[in-house]
Amino acid sequence: MSDFISDFWSHYVAVLTAAGIAGCAILLWVAGRKKVAARSDNTTGHVWDEDLTEMNNPLPMWWVGLFILTIVFSVGYLVAYPGFGSYQGELKWSTKSEYETEVARATRELEPLYAQFTAKSPEDLAADTNAMAIGERLFMNNCAQCHGSDARGSKSFPNLADADWLHGGTGDKIKETITKGRTGVMPPMAAAVGSSDDVKNVAQYVLSLSNSPHDSVRAQLGKSKFAACAACHGMDGKGNPALGAPNLADDIWLHGWGEQAIIAMINNGKTNQMPAQEDKLTPAQIHVLSGYVWGLSNKPQVAAKQ
Ligand code: HEC
Ligand code: HEC
């Protein structure tokens, strides 16, 4: 109601509501007073289907009682609860305030539980089965749509259950990733590499780093051109977590395996974003998630702590 710019609709609804209740009361009163002239056999004289007659009995008292009760109830209800135009009701109840009270109560109840979790490091938390049950639910609701319900990711969405990390795999690094998000940026590099033949050679060199099937002549030719890549991926191609530059020597491919996929990376570059969660989740929830994600790729250490 408060969305309307004038009070007209509020008054309109209030008048209709009051008229409806008053109408019911008047109907009852009139029906109770009006005497229908009955015939000697106590029928009204109306006959249907040859022998169906209408008796002239008063309304049963239980029925009249219920009718009065509903009128009294409706008036009481409209005084206490919203319903009479835009009047809020004496109890000031609203779905919004009910929701807010519930959320506040849940937060209060969960506080001691989460306090117990935040006292531990993400690595220790990974061995806490209670925390991990909560972590799994948080992951399913907030992360699985991109990283998959088994956290194994897909093309361009990293696998979080292996030991290969773009940005670092300690509990604290994972927490930083989830809180602030990450943007991995690889600029288009073709111009720095040279001709399209040079690009092809570098791509073959990249394949050779992980011992993937490659053309060794081209790889040799591409080796010197890899200097353009070394600033981010390192001379040995093992990557740099500070820049989010992946290890190219481990045969794990975020953006696709093979010469064509690597050439596409060199020619087009790539900007890949992990959205920050600090506005969506509480610090305690992020803490629990950090432990959950860390635990996925450190199963033996988790088992040893349990
Ligand atoms: C909209 C998709 C999306 C959602 C939702 C999302 N992520 Fe990500 N996440 C990504 C992408 C894309 C990357 C890779 C960023 C890059 O290339 O640098 C990433 C990277 C990460 C990394 C770093 C991986 C590494 O190798 O360093 C972690 C950890 C992570 N996400 C955890 C989470 C968690 C936990 C959640 C849930 C709270 C989540 N993500 C929700 C898309 C998403
Ligand atoms: C400015 C830093 C930078 C330079 C220079 C750079 N890269 Fe990258 N590269 C990145 C980053 C960051 C990513 C990851 C992008 C993401 O977050 O998804 C990446 C991703 C890649 C990938 C995809 C890896 C995968 O797992 O799918 C390949 C292949 C690659 N780079 C090859 C190269 C080659 C070859 C060169 C040199 C010609 C090069 N890069 C130069 C930063 C760089």
Residue 1 has pLDDT above 60, yes or no: no
Report pLDDT for 205.
98
Rounded distance from Cα 246 to ligand 2 centre (Å): 7
Report pLDDT for 107.
83
Residue 196 is inside which H or E element, if any? helix 196-209
Starting from the CA of residue 181, give the closest ligand.
1
Rounded distance from Cα 233 to ligand 2 centre (Å): 7
- Protein residues with CB under 6 Å of any ligand 2 atom: 166, 184-187, 189, 193, 202, 206, 228-229, 231-233, 243-246, 248, 253-255, 262, 265-266, 270, 272
Reported confidence tier of residue 2, pLDDT bands at 50, 70, 90: low
- Protein residues with CB under 6 Å of any ligand 1 atom: 142-143, 145-147, 156-158, 160, 165-167, 174, 177-178, 182, 184, 244, 272-275, 277, 289, 293
Residue 208 is inside which H or E element, if any? helix 196-209
Residue 48 is inside which H or E element, if any? strand 43-48
Task: Give the closest residue (by CA) to ligand 1 atom 6.
Answer: 143
Binding-site sequence positions? 143, 146-147, 186, 229, 232-233, 274
Spell out the SS3 assignment of 249-276: CCCCCCCCCCHHHHHHHHHHCEEEEECC
Q: Are the beta carbons of 202 and 225 closer than 8 angstroms?
A: yes
* pLDDT-wise least confident of 27-36, 165-174, 208-217: 27-36
Paired tokens of 120: 């531990």
Q: Name the DSSP letter for residue 60.
A: P
pLDDT, tens digit (0-9, with 9 covering 90-100), for 119-135 = 999 999 999 999 999 99
The rounded Cα 105 to chain-centroid distance in angstroms is: 20
Q: Rounded mean pLDDT of 192-200?
A: 95
Report pLDDT for 119.
93
SS3 56: coil
Report pLDDT for 6.
85
Q: Rounded mean pLDDT of 178-199?
A: 96
Task: Give the closest residue (by CA) to ligand 1 atom 39.
Answer: 143
Of 134, 271, 274, best ligand 1 pocket probe by most atoms within 8 Å of the beta carbon = 274
Rounded distance from Cα 79 to ligand 1 centre (Å): 52
Tell which wins on pLDDT, 200 or 109.
200
